[in-house]
Structure 1
Amino acid sequence: MIKIANTQVWVHDQDEALAFYTKKLDMEVRTDVTVPEMGNFRWLAVGPPNQPEVSIVLMAIPGPPLMDETTTAQVHDLMAKGFAGTIFLTTEDCEASYKDLKSRGVEFTEEPESRPYGIDAGFRDPSGNSFRLTQINDIFDR
Structure 2
Amino acid sequence: MRWGDMDAYGHINNVQIVRMMEEARIAAFGPPRGTGLPGVEPEVGLFNEVPDGTLALVVDHKIRYVRTLEYRNVPAVVQVWIGAVKGASFDIHYVVQDPVTREDCVRASSHLAFVDADSGRVLRLTPEQKERMAPFTF
Shorter-normalised TM-score: what interval?
A: under 0.3
> TM-score with structure 2 length normalisation?
0.27
Larger strand fraction of residues: 1
Larger helix fraction of residues: 1
